[in-house]
Amino acid sequence: MIWNVEEFTRAAGVTVERLAAYVEESQRGLPPVVARRPPRELAERLGLARWIREGGMTPEGYAGFLAVYLAEGTRLHHPASLGHQVASPDFPAALADFVHGAANNPMAIYEMGASAATVEFEVLRWMLDKAGYGETGGGVLTHGGSLANLTALLAARAAAAPRAWTDGVPADLALLAPESAHYSLTRAAAILGLGERAVMPLDTDPLGRIDVARLPAALERVRRAGRRPMALVANACSTGTGLYDDLRGIGAFCAAHGVWFHVDGAHGASALLSAGHRRLLDGIELADSMIWDAHKMLRTSSLAAAVLTRREGDLDAAFRQRASYLFYGDQGFDLIGRTVECSKAELGLKVFLNLAWRGERGLGDYVARQYAAAHRLWELGRERPGFTFPYEPESNIVCFRYGAGDQAEIRERLMDEGAFHLTSAEIGGVRHLRATVMAPATDDKTLEALLDRIAGA
Ligand SMILES: *Cc1c(COP(=O)(O)O)cnc(C)c1O
């Protein structure tokens, strides 16, 4: 069926109107931040079975559907949205998703989307420059940080065991990572054929930060176990606590011992854009590879993640042994050789449009503001009886406890009330409440209200 362009225009208008109202009321904190209707009831309310069976949606029917759909979801623009590290998307990125949905230039090869591929290329060059890799670095955008970590470790595997792609994986490879590393790294080790047991934990401080002084001992353990380090992973920042590892210290150690250094900057690499926070990533240019999610702190929808390597050839080696066929001539270039995916979405466009609208400066200011808000929660909470904070936050993630009781129960209560969306994390085996300040609408009033609500005032 060809598009009825008049119908499309009306339906798109409905979408814009509904979304505008949705974001407006969310930003003002009017409706509940999360809805928790049971799935069966929700399917009924949305009329899913009937729509699937009968079809026949019109712009009017769609308007009604969309209103319920949005109202029954989770509101990431809401000031009380303090749960997961999922972006509160900015509208230029939302426009990019819309454009992609209609134009669908899937970017597997240059001829399937010259503009999309060129935008991705330039966005990557910008990211490489920010990371300090410059002209000699390589990059690719992929669907999410988990896939990005897998891709970076594949490059590390190709460096440590160049024949693994054709002959299989040697049994002696090890991946060194702190237990605070994101679970996608252990998964990647399993997917890459190393096996979970090849992940050897690094010594950390009680907050899960890599203990640089104990790195030689870790390397010695790996060697005594008859293994070779394939890569060492550091957090920038860690998912649970939002704390950064000492990248310069770790990077220097890795360089001295010829160990591939991978930095998981999924959440925290965006601090490179804030003059006041760039020091947290000091030493990142020493990393052999890093990842950086745009769908966390660059305010794009899920998913858009970058894999960056200090040497371009390392990334090309990830999926094959021959040299790069990437070129920037009359025929364009193909990045398909650098990803797990064949087709992929126009990921560069959403990063680009946010940059084009807000500027690097605007995105940096956003990061600085959100990091400051988490710090503010720490300042305000510390003064109140019953609240304990195990550390001063470095990013927009902060963990704390209220009282000695079950913290998960507090979280459940807040979510049932629709008042606040928090998550929780274990630190040293103790469950903490965890706030991630993603929405620009979160202010001091929100944070005071959160502390009031937790304390039951
Ligand atoms: C979120 C996160 C990931 C996973 O990224 P996805 O895009 O959700 O797959 C990996 N590492 C860290 C440190 C993260 O915070």
Q: What are the tens digits of pLDDT across the range 228-240?
A: 999 999 999 999 9
Which tokens sit at 67?
């209103």
Atom 5, ligand 1: residue with shortest CA distance: 145
Using CA positions, which residue lies closest to atom 8 of ligand 1? 145
How many Å lie between the centroid of ligand 1 and the Cα of residue 70?
25
Q: Name the token pair of 439.
A: 């929405």
CATH number of 359-455: 3.90.1150.170
CA dihedral 440, 442, 443, 445 (to 10 degrees): 160
Q: Is 175 helix (H, G, I), strand (E, B) or coil?
A: strand
**pLDDT tens, residue by residue, 385-442:** 999 999 999 999 999 999 999 999 999 999 999 999 999 999 999 999 999 999 999 9
| 199 vs 245: CA distance, rounded Å | 18
Using 50, 70 and 90 to split pLDDT, how confident is the model at 323? very low
Cβ of 259 below 6 Å from ligand 1: no
Ligand 1 atom at minimal distance to the Cα of residue 236? 13
Question: 322 by DSSP, 3-state: which?
Answer: coil
Is residue 140 within 8 Å of 304, Cβ to Cβ? no
Kindly tell me the number of DSSP H helices and DSSP E strands found in the chain: 16, 12
Q: Percentage of the chain with pLDDT > 70?
A: 98
Q: How far is the CA of 371 from the centre of ligand 1 (A)?
A: 18
- Tell how far the Cα of 146 is from the centroid of ligand 1, in angstroms: 6
Question: With contact defined as beta carbons under 8 Å apart, do 381 and 387 qualify?
Answer: yes
Does the Cβ of 146 fall within 6 Å of ligand 1? yes
415 Cα: distance to centroid of ligand 1 (angstroms): 23
What percent of the residues of the chain are helix, what percent strand, and what percent coil, each to the nearest 5? 50, 15, 35
Tell me the H-state helices in 204-262.
215-224, 247-257
Over residues 266-273, the mean pLDDT reads 98
Any ligand 1 atom below 6 A from CB of 245: no
CB 353 within 8 A of CB 96: yes
pTM: 0.97
Per-residue pLDDT reduced to its tens digit, 286-320: 999 999 999 999 999 999 999 999 999 999 999 87
For residue 184, give the nearest of 264, 84, 244 by alpha carbon: 264
What b/e sequence results for 74-101 when a residue is b if at least 16 CB atoms lie within 10 Å of its CB, and e otherwise?
bbbbbbbbbbbbbbbbbebbbebbebbe
Give the helix/strand (H/E) hosting 314. Answer: helix 312-317
Q: Is the CB of 264 under 6 A from ligand 1?
A: yes
- Give the contacts of 215 (CB within 8 A, at least 6 positions apart): 202, 250, 253
Assess whether the C-beta atom of 266 lies below 6 angstroms from ligand 1: yes
Name the token pair of 34.
Answer: 């999360």
DSSP state of 161: -
Residue 221 token pair? 């353990």
Check pocket membership of 293 for ligand 1, CB cut-off 6 A: yes
Among left, alpha and beta (phi > 0; psi -120 to 50; other), residue 428 is left
Residue 175, CB half-sphere, CA atoms under 13 Å: how many? 31
Residues 150, 340 contacting (CB under 8 angstroms): yes
Which of 153, 241, 267, 438, when mutated, tests ligand 1's pocket best, judged by the most ligand atoms within 8 Å of its CB?
267
What's the CA gap between 385 and 256, in Å, rounded? 48
- Domain 99-353 belongs to what topology? Aspartate Aminotransferase; domain 2 (3.40.640)
Distance between start and end Cα atoms, the chain: 58
Position 322 pLDDT exceeds 90 = no
Distance, CA of 100 to CA of 7 (rounded, Å): 19
Q: Which atom of ligand 1 is nearest to the CA of 239?
A: 15
Ligand 1 centre to CA of 86 (Å) is: 10
97 CA to middle of ligand 1, Å? 21
Q: Please give the torsion angle defined by the CA atoms of residues 224, 230, 236 and 239, in that order, rounded to the nearest 10 degrees.
A: -80
> Ligand 1 center to residue 111 CA distance, Å?
31
What six digits make up the tokens of 243?
Answer: 């704390």
Domain boundaries, the chain: 1-31+35-72, 99-353, 359-455
- Strand ranges (E), 92-160: 138-142
316 CB within 6 A, ligand 1: no
Match 């990572």 to its residue by tokens.
177
The span from the CA of 101 to the CA of 216, in Å, is 50
Determine which of 183-187, 318-322, 328-332 has the lowest per-residue pLDDT on average: 328-332
Q: Is the pLDDT of residue 148 over 90?
A: yes
- CB within 8 Å of 224: residues ≥ 6 apart: none
pLDDT top residue among 331 and 336: 336
